[in-house]
Amino acid sequence: MAAEDPLAFEKYQTIRRASDGVLCDTNGMSLVGWHNHGGAKTEIELQRAMSFLDINTEHKSYKRFCDIFRMTADGRAFHACCEQMAEEYEGKHFDRVVGTESRGFIFGCALACKLGAGFVPVRKAGKLPGKVLEVESQVQYAKNQLETSSGYFEVGDRVLYCDDLIATGNTAKDSIELIKKAGGKVTEAVFLISIPSLGGEELLKKMGVRVYKLFDMEGDISVIKQWFIHTHS
């Protein structure tokens, strides 16, 4: 692997997570959504993609966030993640895939194409034409008004909700409430990354929504987790 692609694991080191003994990278991130029948090559491709998920230490009003764009900029890594996420839903039918602005658009559009479904955005206030449905959402570092249009849905639509990250789950919960207002039904949600200890997965499960994630971040070495704890203490 190294001989073929010397830069693939440029920053990639695996260690044993102290909290649960899971093998992870130095950001506390581990591969959890791999379908074993894909074989060792698929696992390697997904670990390679994980190696591109950088932790940026300075961004806007908060200190740390996970930069997915080094991964999406690499066609091979992006393809591996989208293929694996779509594989989770083989044999299931969805009328729409919904993603929340803005990184949910990236994976939502890709999944909609793979699954033969339409794509509908949940956007911030003032960006959609016509009459909209709205909800105020408290995210980790600000309040946002989220909007969508009932005109994008048929009553009873089966909807797959998609975003890049689930942490506390507030954005996902509020987006799903909007989808329900518009007439859609959400029983499945997919994320590139989850931070399970922050409660988002459990929040969605209480709403009757099953969560699939490709990677998770856990334990004290997760710098994203440290940021959330710091800003909510």
Among the listed residues 55, 59, 56, the one whose alpha carbon sits nearest the alpha carbon of residue 141: 59
Domain annotation covers residue 2: no
**Residue 75 pLDDT greater than 90, yes or no:** yes
Domain annotation covers residue 82: yes
Q: What is the pLDDT of the chain when averaged over all its residues?
A: 82
Q: Measured between alpha carbons, how far is 59 from 28 in angstroms, rounded to an integer?
A: 20
> What are the start-end ranges of the E strands in 101-222?
118-124, 133-138, 143-148, 158-166, 185-194, 210-217
What CATH number is given to the structural domain containing 123? 3.40.50.2020
Domain annotation covers residue 7: no
Q: Which pLDDT value is given to residue 6?
A: 36
Higher pLDDT, 30 or 5: 30
Domain annotation covers residue 185: yes
Higher pLDDT, 107 or 52: 107
Q: Measured between alpha carbons, how far is 69 from 157 in angstroms, rounded to an integer?
A: 31
The edge-to-edge listing of strands for the beta sheet with 133-138 is 29-31, 210-217, 185-194, 158-166, 96-100, 118-124, 143-148, 133-138
Q: Measured between alpha carbons, how far is 13 from 185 in angstroms, rounded to an integer?
A: 41
**Residue 110 pLDDT greater than 70, yes or no:** yes
Domain annotation covers residue 4: no
Domain annotation covers residue 41: yes
What residues have CB less than 8 Å from 79, skipping those under 6 apart? Answer: none
- The per-residue pLDDT for range 117-162, each reduced to its tens digit, is 999 999 999 999 989 999 988 765 567 899 999 999 999 999 999 9
When pLDDT is cut at 50, 70 and 90, the band that residue 221 belongs to is very low
Per DSSP, the three-state class of 163 is strand
**Residue 5 pLDDT greater than 70, yes or no:** no
Number of domains present in the structure of the chain: 1
**Residue 91 pLDDT greater than 80, yes or no:** yes
> Which tokens is 65 given?
């966030």
Q: Which pLDDT value is given to residue 47?
A: 84
Domain annotation covers residue 1: no
Instruction: Tell me the whole-structure pTM to 2 decimals.
Output: 0.82
Q: Which residue's entry shows tokens 């591109």?
A: 52
Range of the domain at 205: 14-232
Find the DSSP H helices in 63-183. Answer: 69-72, 75-87, 103-115, 170-181
Q: Measured between alpha carbons, how far is 162 from 176 in angstroms, rounded to an integer?
A: 10
CB 219 within 8 Å of CB 18: yes
